[in-house]
Amino acid sequence: MTHDFEARAAELLDAGAHGYFAGGAGDELTLRDNEASWGRVALTPRVLVDVAHRDTSVTLLGRERAHPFLVAPTAYQLEAHQDGETGTARAAAATGSIMVLSSQTTTDPREVAAAVGTADRWFQLYVYRDRGLSHDLVAAAREGGYEALVITVDFPFGGRRERTERSGFTLSHPPFVDGLAGPLSLAERHAMHDPTLTWDDIAAFGEASGLPVVLKGILHPADAARAVDAGVAGIVVSNHGGRQLDTVLSGADALGPVVEAVDGRIDVLVDGGIRRGWDAAKALALGADAVLVGRPVLWGLACEGAAGAQQALEQLVEEFDETLGLLGCPRARDLDGSYVTRRPS
Ligand SMILES: Cc1cc2nc3c(=O)[nH]c(=O)nc-3n(C[C@H](O)[C@H](O)[C@H](O)COP(=O)(O)O)c2cc1C
């Protein structure tokens, strides 16, 4: 069970690594609200619908996918388990989930790709002050056959991560991108990000990669509309797992206005606090096309390597399928606002 993995990972991992994976920014109000906010959305089931057969498939970037779950990009996976990014990619491949590989991967993106053959994979890009590093990553992503470039736009520099500051957590596995740069603290690594990145830079990365671009880290509807104008293929409504600015709104709360602003012109994905299949059903009912899951996959990986990550994803897909049945909406594509309501606060 996903929650069992979470508890076991807290025991298995050393305190520094666990604090890095689990923690959020500041007082972690947003971190907690990410999970709580899905609970504030109530499902409103319909009855006497034939749900003997359910269809969990969705369309994303123009292609049919078996279900709406993607693996969110998370850094430094060899710190969680020796299977690392390759293990997560194998778990994603086994469950028909798209793996989004982080720029801060501890395994060469081409090696990760080679381990999973033709399975769907996207690449997440951080733009560093040294733009050459980012261009090297884009080149590796192209060589590795990654199908989309997810540019993270909510990280001009790192948020105030007090758990990692307190523990003094340092990496024991060098990241692929700056492995040659020697032993750096997390704060030093975070300072490598380019705080001057603006909308004017996005198109160039799209052109250099030749890949569809998805912007990750949008919360404001005006930015969502601007992303449509910028010509990207999709956006991820995300607050970076509560790790950047504390007290920002959750993906669940930001989603509705963003969906309205986008008005079906590009794909909208959402992440943050999705722990159960029914959370994903709520996201789709609120207008998302797909969802990303971060920590649940990391906890599975930490406990049992690739097999644990796979189990976490399988459970989410199973729960999503069951939700469609118990909600009286046998096709994921038919989920809409009529299946959810806000709980009175
Ligand atoms: C340990 C950890 C590392 C992360 N590293 C990255 C990263 O390298 N790039 C990125 O765009 N987002 C990163 N994120 C954010 C995730 O992609 C995602 O937005 C978030 O984890 C979703 O929330 P959840 O963990 O509650 O599912 C990271 C999150 C965690 C927990």
pLDDT of residue 122: 98
pLDDT of residue 180: 47
Residue 94: pLDDT over 90: yes
Please choose, from the candidates 332, 56, 60, 68, the residue with its C-alpha nearest in 3D space to the C-alpha of residue 214: 60
Residue 3: pLDDT over 90: no
Instruction: Say if ligand 1 is within 6 A of residue 272 CB.
Output: yes
pLDDT of residue 345: 65
pLDDT of residue 341: 95
pLDDT of residue 138: 94
The best mutation among 240, 244, 292 to test binding of ligand 1, ranked by most ligand atoms within 8 Å of the C-beta, falls on 240
Mean pLDDT, to the nearest integer, of 290-302? 98
Mean pLDDT, to the nearest integer, of 249-272? 98
The residue contributing the CA closest to ligand 1 atom 4 is 74
Q: Has 282 been labeled as part of a binding site?
A: no
Spatial distance between the Cα atoms of 331 and 335, rounded to a whole number of angstroms:
7
For residue 166, the CA-to-ligand 1 centroid distance in Å is 20
* Residue 148 counted as domain residue: yes
* Residue 317 counted as domain residue: yes
What is the overall mean pLDDT for the chain?
95
pLDDT of residue 322: 98
Q: What is the pLDDT of residues 111-124, one digit of tens each?
A: 999 999 999 999 99
pLDDT of residue 169: 86
* Residue 254 counted as domain residue: yes
Instruction: Say if ligand 1 is within 6 A of residue 308 CB.
Output: no
* Residue 27: domain span: 2-43+63-328
Q: Has 295 been labeled as part of a binding site?
A: yes
Instruction: Say if ligand 1 is within 6 A of residue 239 CB.
Output: no
Total domains present in the chain: 1
Query: CATH number for the domain including 183?
Result: 3.20.20.70
- Name which residue leads in pLDDT, 266 or 3: 266
Mean pLDDT, to the nearest integer, of 308-314? 98
pLDDT of residue 179: 54
* Residue 345 counted as domain residue: no
* Residue 51 counted as domain residue: no
pLDDT of residue 182: 62
* Residue 319 counted as domain residue: yes
SS3 readout for the chain: CHHHHHHHHHHHCCHHHHHHHHCCCCCCHHHHHHHHHHHCEEECCCCCCCCCCCECCEEECCEEECCCEEECCCCCHHHCCCCHHHHHHHHHHHHCCEEEECCCCCCCHHHHHHHCCCCCEEEEECCECCHHHHHHHHHHHHHCCCCCEEEECCCCCCCCCHHHHHHCCCCCCCCCCCHHHCCCCHHHHHCCECCCCCHHHHHHHHHHHCCCEEEEEECCHHHHHHHHHCCCCEEEECCHHHCCCCCCCCHHHHHHHHHHHHCCCCEEEEECCCCCHHHHHHHHHCCCCEEEECHHHHHHHHHHHHHHHHHHHHHHHHHHHHHHHHHCCCEHHHCCHHHEEECCC
* pLDDT band at 178; cut points 50, 70, 90: low
The residue contributing the CA closest to ligand 1 atom 7 is 74
pLDDT of residue 242: 98
* Residue 338 counted as domain residue: no
Q: What is the pLDDT of residues 46-92, one digit of tens each?
A: 999 999 999 999 999 999 999 999 999 999 999 999 999 999 999 99
240 part of the active site: yes
**By percentage, how much of the chain surpasses pLDDT 70?**
98
Q: How far is CA 4 from each of CA 55, 147, 219, 300, 303, rounded to the nearest angstrom?
A: 28, 33, 31, 9, 10
pLDDT of residue 184: 77
Q: What is the pLDDT of residues 121-173, one digit of tens each?
A: 999 999 999 999 999 999 999 999 999 999 999 999 999 999 988 888 888 88
Please give the structure tokens belonging to residue 173.
Answer: 């596995």
For residue 55, the CA-to-ligand 1 centroid distance in Å is 28
Mean pLDDT, to the nearest integer, of 23-52? 98
Mean pLDDT, to the nearest integer, of 176-184? 67
* pLDDT band at 99; cut points 50, 70, 90: very high
For residue 91, the CA-to-ligand 1 centroid distance in Å is 17
The residue contributing the CA closest to ligand 1 atom 10 is 73
> Which of the residue ranges 29-43, 190-204, 287-301, 320-334 would you say has the lowest mean pLDDT?
190-204
The best mutation among 74, 134, 149 to test binding of ligand 1, ranked by most ligand atoms within 8 Å of the C-beta, falls on 74
* Residue 344 counted as domain residue: no
Q: Are 106 and 175 in contact (CB under 8 A)?
A: yes
